[in-house]
Structure 1
């Protein structure tokens, strides 16, 4: 559970990369949340919101001189869900936490994409946009990175004054890339992407269910550099952007359930009707 010190400050790798002509692109966060214990929820559910704003400690982050992606809790039938609307914009909704990464660590949610960012292309910087991304940030030891990566990360942290996360794994629902694809972000090696869903759902009005084993996905994405190291999960972010392509995207997310060995009881989450999606 986040404390008053777990403030999310809107800085970003992408902005720093543009300044330094270096391949760096991701949200820079100040993450000072204590570990989630058995009696605590790892993430606050969106369904706990009293109005349209996501409940604390969810925090919005963006980049300088960017139109903000809109995040709003709305009613969908009997359930409250997060509406994510990108319109030539960039933004993240971030929740600081600290959960150990081990074989029991899982992430579950349900989502729906109504409008894809038409010209998005995850393989290029010019097309690095998406209507629906769910990102997991890891506290990977910087001294395990190559000299070049350590230098860029240190520069990012020094420039922003923030503890920029060393690794990010993003789950993506993309219009073009094949489901099951694993990609390196076009701006930085520090972010990897797993495409879980591709194209329009068979029933666009129904939410798709996901449940991921984070350790298995982490090893798949970062196994080339991680070895036997198991970094803590330090934040979860819902992200959507359409600033590079000047497009528009619309998606919805249910409550997000993060569980691990130190989190035996998660928040009570309310999930809308769903069809089965990809599994662990």
Structure 2
């Protein structure tokens, strides 16, 4: 059931396997899923992610709302040295926070409609009209906007990059409307979901990361 707000990790006990309200998201049924679990770090409950050649995520379906501010904290053990989010064979990230938006799907190309059908077959769910994704990249500068190498409906913004801040908590606040305009060149539709993903399936590498609370204003 869609929620009004995101359930905060810090409000759960570390003994719970996954936070209530967050749902598993399968990238591809043939891929090994990333392992997620609540844990206590630095005297607060956060979500721990461990990927080993794997890819999957968690998401919260929301009651459609206007995009505002998004705030979160995250930390990674290290970066994926061989990762390059502009290249399909190396498109991995230790940390991602993504936001799904509504839109007029009648304006999509035949290729995008076929991609919707493929997504239903591979994941059991339809793709949102557009997805804005914040990532911790390996080499590209912070602030870089990267089109997804597989679809124009996903754009990535690098908000942390490289190893300089590895093993440190990083806190971010983003204006979703402004970022959507910068990434897609038009106004966003209503916000439908927020999720996270740690993935290493393309580079066949390992990653360990932590997500603090994610909140919408």
Structure-2 separation of matches of 1:47 and 1:126 = 35
The equivalent of 2:32 in structure 1 is: 67
Q: Please report the TM-score for the alignment, with normalisation by the length of structure 2.
A: 0.90
CA shift at 1:118, angstroms? 2.5
Matches within 5 A, 1:42-81: 42-50=5-13, 51-62=15-26, 63-81=28-46
Q: Deviations over 1:44-90 (max 9, x none)?
A: 01122232422221011222122110111111121111111111111
Confirm or deny: 8 A CA contact 1:74 1:82 kept in the other structure.
Answer: yes
Which consecutive residues of structure 1, in runs of 5 or more, have no partner in the other structure?
4-32, 37-41, 260-280
Which structure carries more strand by proportion? 2
Higher CA-based Rg: 1
Matches within 5 A, 1:7-26: none
Which consecutive residues of structure 2, in runs of 5 or more, have no partner in the other structure?
none
The equivalent of 2:54 in structure 1 is: 89
RMSD in angstroms over aligned alpha carbons?
A: 1.9
Query: Which 4+ runs in 1 deviate beyond 3 A?
Result: 156-163
Are 2:176 and 1:214 aligned?
Answer: yes
Q: Deviations over 1:89-117 (max 9, x none)?
A: 11101111134235xx0100011111222
Structure-2 separation of matches of 1:205 and 1:194 = 21
Q: Please report the TM-score for the alignment, with normalisation by the length of structure 1.
A: 0.71
Name the structure, 1 or 2, with higher relative contact order (CA <8 Å, separation 6+): 2
Confirm or deny: 8 A CA contact 1:115 1:248 kept in the other structure.
Answer: no
The equivalent of 1:117 in structure 2 is: 80
How many corresponding residue pairs? Answer: 214
Structure-2 separation of matches of 1:197 and 1:152 = 33
CA gap of 1:179–1:158, structure 2 versus 1, over 3 A, is closer
CA gap of 1:154–1:186, structure 2 versus 1, over 3 A, is closer
